Amino acid sequence: GTVHYYDFVLKEINVTKLCANQSILTVNGLFPGPVIRVHKGDTVFVNLTNQGNYGVTIHWHGVKQPRNPWSDGPVFITQCPIKPGSNFTYEVIFSDEEGTLWWHAHSDWTRSTVHGAIVILPEEGTSYPFPEPDGEEIIVLGSWYTGDLNEEVNEDLEEGVDIPHSSGFLINGELGDFANCSRETTYRWSVDYGKTYLLRIVNAVSDDQIFFAVAEHNLTVVGLDAGYVKPFVTSYIMISPGQTMDVLLKANRPLGHYYMASREFLTETANQDHNNGTAIIEYTGDYNFSSSPIFPHQLPQILDMKAALRFTGFIRSLANEDYPVDVPTNITTRMYIAVSMNELCKNRTNCNVTAGPDNILASSMNNISWINPSVDVLQAYYRNMSGYFTADFPDRPLTMYNFTENTEETDLIMTDQGTRVKVLNYNETVEIVFQGTGLLNGAGVHPMHMHGHSFYVVGMGEGNFDNETDPLTYNLVDPPKANTFIVPKYGWLAIRFVASNPGVWFWHCHFDRHLTWGMDTVFIVKNGDTEATSILPPPPNMPICTGGYPEISI
């Protein structure tokens, strides 16, 4: 593949939204940030210079980075922050990804403004598995926060209370016609009648699943998370935060202008005061602009769980001779992981399963709320530094609790904090069943994301996972392949992957609030027997964690 070089400069800029001026952190002064364009198999060096006010890291979401966890980015998992005034060069290694992905900050809540799309074209001389589109358009779905988000989040964490919700939804950085003081800047895209366009849609929203639709137009979904799917026609999509979708849009409606709109999909009634995010598609040509654009009335309502799951159920891998699936069938490691909302005890004096005064909000995997170590897990692992994590992420028998019951009366509400990782041998075949719970009235969906690998979504269902009957329903023929997928409310998600990428890989819910509260863990994939199946050596300029490191002792 070809080698590309990008310069990313992190800096604050002033923007006006919702009638107020505020400063946001950006890359190169752009919001959304710059697009990285490559062909499959290329390598990109991104030299990041931090001219902002606090330490930041960047993650290349969905790029597997074979043997190269050093450039993966999650703060205190694979690196320490790049401090203001310093720089770091990421080496982003593309392997089998083809389609659309994105990059985003992976430290604090900075990703709400520090993100951009990654376009991965087919290898030179090859083409898409669908007719060549006449044009393409990147659609980055975002969310807008008023005020200093990182500061507010830190205060709320300190007090153990809820974290702010966004004040609106963005399409390519703009709120659109329905938000205050936003009409002038609504994002507009012009299309020619009769042409077919490839929309590369990124859900960069910090904390919401999103419904998206275009008025009067159908969408043909052809890709998910930089892999191809069996094309299907739909009037709306539901996209999880972290996911990317490629869809074809044929501009075949009467000349005119049409809204595209984004709306959150929620599982509870709180916080539905948002306006829809909108942008406008304008046909080129002669017509009367005086009437306002048509709105996509097919956009499902905020609480429409059925619409969300119906859409998700349509997604299948392309699974043909040219794009075969390789779902592992001989599973060597099987795990059950409960993902839940919890409380934890701040100072161990006055806690109680039913809202003791010292309880703080938390979330967990198997009742462990992840806390970051002070030296990143990767350095600690690579250099054999003890005391930063333990290799004892707990497994859990599924029978111990009726997860779908909504109850306040259980010890499982309280979690422990820990930095407990799961270690896998090279090339182990893994199945994980994520089980949603109704602890703490906290039933909701969780978009689970894995770094370093994609996984097959072999099953999904309502209620408690049943080890006897549910595996019989698995799709091993053409399951969707993704790096992020939702665990349904009061339900379960079964995924499979081969641990073929040696390194240290984060696994977490892609809602920033749940990530922050601890719905995270780390999988370490050990080296194989040869150098070609081992972690690459670290690059020379890794940011140093506070306190430094000892010499590498083997």
Considering the complex, what minimum distance in angstroms separates the CB of residue 251 from ligand C2O?
Answer: 31
Write down the least CB distance from residue 34 to ligand C2O, Å. 17
> Which residue's CB is nearer to ligand C2O, number 58 or number 315?
58
Q: Is 40 in the site for ligand C2O (CB under 6 A)?
A: no
Tell me, residue by residue from 233 to 272, as one string, x for binding to ligand C2O by CB under 6 A and - for no binding.
---------x------------------------------
Q: In the complex, what is the shortest distance from the CB of residue 218 to ligand C2O, in angstroms, rounded to a whole number? A: 29
Is residue 414 within a helix (H) or strand (E), and if so which, with residue range? strand 414-418
Of 450 and 545, nearer to ligand C2O (C-beta) is 450
Check if the beta carbon of residue 214 is closer than 8 Å to that of residue 307. no
Residue 446 site contact among ligand C2O, Cu ion, none (CB < 5 to 8 Å, cut-off depends on kind): Cu ion
Sign of the dihedral through C-alpha 224, 228, 230, 236? positive
- Residue 507: which residues within 8 A CB-CB, separation 6 or more? 365, 448, 449, 450, 451, 520, 521, 522, 523
Binding partner of 33, given Cu ion, ligand C2O, none, CB within 5-8 angstroms per partner class? none
Give me the least distance between CB of 545 and ligand C2O, in Å please.
19
Distance, in Å, from the CA atom of 437 to the CA atom of 93, rounded to the nearest integer, reads 37
The CB-of-342 to Cu ion minimum distance in angstroms stands at 12
* CA 552/CA 554 separation, integer angstroms: 6
> Shortest gap between Cβ of 106 and ligand C2O (angstroms)?
6
First to last CA, the chain: 34
Stretch that binds ligand C2O, among 308-316, 385-393, 410-418, 505-513 (CB under 6 A): 505-513
Supply the DSSP string of 432-462, one letter for each residue: EEEEE--GGG----EEEEESS--EEEEEEEE
**Cβ 346 to ligand C2O, closest distance in Å?**
26
Nearer to ligand C2O, 212 or 506 (CB): 506
449 binds, among ligand C2O, Cu ion, none (CB under 5 to 8 A by kind): ligand C2O
Q: Order of strands, edge to edge, in the sheet holding 99-105?
A: 36-39, 115-121, 99-105, 58-61
Please identify which residue in the block is written with the tokens 């409960």.
338
Show the tokens assigned to 535: 């972690």
Using the contact rule CB under 5 A, the part of the chain among 386-394, 501-509, 533-541, 542-550 near Cu ion is: 501-509
Residues 89-108: x where in contact with ligand C2O by CB under 6 A, - otherwise, as a string: ---------------x-x--
Integer angstrom CA distances of residue 238 from 104, 266, 321: 21, 11, 28
Give yes or no for a cis peptide into 479 (omega within 30° of 0).
no
Q: x/- binding map, residues 50-79, to ligand C2O, per CB under 6 A?
A: ---------x-x------------x-----
Instruction: Select the binding partner of residue 104 from Cu ion, ligand C2O, none (C-beta < 5 to 8 A, by kind).
Output: ligand C2O
Q: Are 274 and 265 in contact (CB under 8 A)?
A: no
Q: What is the Cα–Cα distance from 299 to 417, expressed in whole angstroms?
A: 40
Among ligand C2O, Cu ion, none, the one that 420 touches (CB under a kind-dependent 5 to 8 A) is none
- Using Cβ positions, the residue closest to ligand C2O within the complex turns out to be 61
Q: Which CB, 242 or 479, lies closer to ligand C2O?
A: 242
User: What CA dihedral angle connects 233, 225, 471 and 336, to 10 degrees?
Assistant: -140
514 binds ligand C2O, rule: CB under 6 A: no
- Tell me which of 263, 274, 451, 514 binds Cu ion, using CB under 5 A: 514
Question: How many residues touch ligand C2O (CB under 6 A)?
Answer: 11
Burial class of residue 156 in the structure, from the number of CB atoms within 10 Å of its CB (0-12 exposed, 13-18 middle, 19+ buried)? middle
Q: Is 362 exposed, middle or buried (0-12, 13-18, 19+ CB in 10 A)?
A: buried
Residue (39 or 446) nearer to Cu ion, CB: 446
Does residue number 509 form part of the binding site for Cu ion (CB under 5 A)?
yes
**What are the tokens at 225?**
């998370």
Q: Does residue 39 bind ligand C2O (CB under 6 A)?
A: no
Q: Which of 75, 149, 82, 54 is nearest to 370 (CA)?
A: 75
Residue 87 · residue 48 · CB < 8 Å: yes
- If binding means CB under 5 A, how many residues of this protein chain bind Cu ion? 4
When binding is defined by CB under 5 A, the residue of 511, 517, 535, 542 that contacts Cu ion is: 511
422 binds, among Cu ion, ligand C2O, none (CB under 5 to 8 A by kind): none
| 370 near Cu ion, judged by CB under 5 A | no
- 26 vs 240, beta carbon nearer ligand C2O: 240
Q: Give the whole-angstrom CA distance, residue 388 versus residue 379.
A: 10
Contact between 451 and ligand C2O per CB under 6 A:
yes
Amino acid identity for residue 36 in this structure? I
User: From the CB of 327, what's the least distance to Cu ion, in Å?
Assistant: 25
List the single partner that 59 binds among ligand C2O, Cu ion, none, CB under 5 to 8 Å by kind.
Answer: ligand C2O
Type of residue numbered 410: T
The CB-side HSE value for 113 (13 A sphere, CA atoms) comes to: 26
Least Cβ distance, residue 426 to Cu ion (angstroms): 29
432 backbone dihedrals φ, ψ, rounded to 5°? -125, 130
Task: Residue 508: name its binding partner from ligand C2O, Cu ion, none (Cβ under 5 to 8 Å by kind).
Answer: ligand C2O
**Tokens (6 digits) for 290:** 């005086």
Q: What distance in Å separates the CA atoms of residue 140 and residue 233, rounded to the nearest whole number?
A: 21
* Residue 508 makes contact with ligand C2O by CB under 6 A: yes
Q: Does 449 bind ligand C2O (CB under 6 A)?
A: yes
447 in contact with ligand C2O (CB under 6 A): no
Our CB check for ligand C2O shows the closer of 222 and 448 to be 448
Site residues (vs Cu ion, CB under 5 A): 446, 509, 511, 514
Site residues (vs ligand C2O, CB under 6 A): 59, 61, 74, 104, 106, 242, 449, 451, 506, 508, 510
